[in-house]
A and B are shown apart, each in its own frame.
Chain A
Amino acid sequence: NAGVTQTPKFQVLKTGQSMTLQCAQDMNHNSMYWYRQDPGMGLRLIYYSASEGTTDKGEVPNGYNVSRLNKREFSLRLESAAPSQTSVYFCASSEVRTQYFGPGTRLTVL
């Protein structure tokens, strides 16, 4: 009963480095989402994928790219990390309305 899984749990990057955050869900959901959570800002949507093969920008897409690899997996890529991207990143999935979240990735960019 894994639900939504995310890797890695923690990551430290230097400015300019790249990395990919992985997300997978085993609930056969069509829609998947990437959020970032910052103090005082709440959760903000970065990108979402309504179904396999489609992706759309959310509220804060700059500096990120996504890939919906298949129905299960949705990855988030930082091409050139910046200190402003230090945050906790959450992946979520949904079938109809209710979104289910992964445990998060805590990213620090030095």
Chain B
Amino acid sequence: SQELEQSPQSLIVQEGKNLTINCTSSKTLYGLYWYKQKYGEGLIFLMMLQKGGEEKSHEKITAKLDEKKQQSSLHITASQPSHAGIYLCGASTTSGTYKYIFGTGTRLKVLA
């Protein structure tokens, strides 16, 4: 089983709708990272969360970290076709190392 579970695996929304992607770890988190990947391209760093309760925003994308639940959520407000792609969460689950594990990704399609 995956140490880092993402849900849903895929999502199709109408432009303008809000959506949430979740990332849940089976281990203690020492840092949670969100990336976006356009089809066939590399990963673009969105944001990093380190402390429980921390919330960060980048344009219309907001991410929160619930340390107790070992979970992070990524919320997109008023989605646009430019938000389409694969969203990946990565996490460091070992203190003092820079090694990550990654979720399998959430494929987002936004219909115009």
Chain B interface: which size bin?
A: 20 to 34
A15-50 contact mask (Cβ, 8 Å, vs B): 1 or 0? 000000000000000010001000011111100101
B12 at the interface (CB under 8 A from A): no
Given contacts A41-B104, A43-B90, contact A97 B98 (CB under 8 A): yes
Is A103 interfacial (CB 8 A cutoff)? yes
Q: How far is the CA of A102 from the CA of B43 in the complex (A)?
A: 7
- Tell whether A61 is near chain B: CB-to-CB under 8 Å: no
The residues of B that contact A4 with a CB separation of less than 8 Å are 42
Q: Are B99 and A45 in touch, CB under 8 angstroms?
A: yes
Number of interface residues of A (CB under 8 A): 25
* Bound form: Cα–Cα A96–B105 in Å: 24
Q: Which residue of B lies closest to A50 (CB)?
A: B98
B104 to chain A, nearest CB (A): 4
Q: Are A98's CB and B33's CB within 8 A?
A: yes
User: Is the Cβ of A40 less than 8 Å from the Cβ of B104?
Assistant: yes
